[in-house]
Amino acid sequence: MIRNTARALIIQDGLLLAIKKERPEVGVYYTLPGGAQEIGETIEQTLQRECLEELGIDVAEHKFICIREYISKNHEYSFIMKEVHAVEFIYECRIKATDTFVSSQADIGQIGMEWIPTESIKQSVSASDQSSKTYQFPETTRDFFREYFRDQGLELYRSKNYES
């Protein structure tokens, strides 16, 4: 079964808002906020709901930037989610002013959220060895960031098909 997901790319003042997760098999890693579309829900409604659930925030504006495909069995975290095939709609988002971020329905493994300097993300995704990475991201997210931050703009994102 293929599912649609919405992901939020929230960057303000040179910082990216990320979901912080921890799993015994992986350790601490970061993902973009978002999740699966529910029946009867538009993908934009999914984006709004997921940001409210995971971050406790309202999205004020959103702009669609790309689609990427995720087939879990082809990636390094396949042992966590073996049978996931998702088409991810990624949106650049602006959030409404808020004093607190409170997750009402955190994802499995979610231990918080964090504003990460985009310069640190650029260094982490371009680092060749593990010890020089400040932040750990799933492989598909690293690939997306490499494309997104190239020349500070978004070039056409082409997903890779990873074979195991």
Query: Tens digit of pLDDT for each residue in 29-83?
Result: 899 999 999 999 999 999 999 999 999 888 889 999 999 887 776 666 555 666 7
pLDDT band of 23, cuts 50, 70, 90: confident
- List the domain boundaries for the chain: 2-152
Residue 98 half-sphere exposure, CB side, CA atoms within 13 Å? 13
Model confidence pTM above 0.85: no
pLDDT of the residue at 154: 40
Q: What percent of the chain has pLDDT over 90?
A: 35
Task: Measure the CA–CA gap between 70 and 53, rounded to whole angstroms.
Answer: 22
CATH homologous superfamily of 2-152 equals Nucleoside Triphosphate Pyrophosphohydrolase (3.90.79.10)
